Amino acid sequence: MKLLNDWKLIIIACLTLGLAPFFPEPHIVGKIKWIAGGAVGMKPMDWFDVVLHGFPFILLIRLLLIKLTKK
């Protein structure tokens, strides 16, 4: 559980796994645009890809909520 609450690890995961590949645009950005456009033609592998690249950001949001609600 300590790994899921480590700021440094989560930030590194967001910057690497969350945004890779970086060019021509971050992969997760392209997937979010695709979903926002109606997700036409998305296959199960594409949805898995969204979860894989989005998971570090989910952990970051979770950690932010935990820190903000403790105050």
pLDDT in tens, 6-28: 889 999 999 998 888 888 888 89
Q: State yes or no: pLDDT of 4 exceeds 90.
A: no
8 A C-beta contact, residue 18 and residue 28: yes
Read off the pLDDT band of 2 (50, 70, 90).
confident
pLDDT at 71 over 80: no
> Over the stretch 20-59, which tens digit does the pLDDT of each residue have?
888 888 889 999 999 999 999 999 999 999 999 999 999 9
3-state secondary structure (DSSP) of residue 33: helix
CA distance linking residue 67 with residue 18, whole number of Å = 21
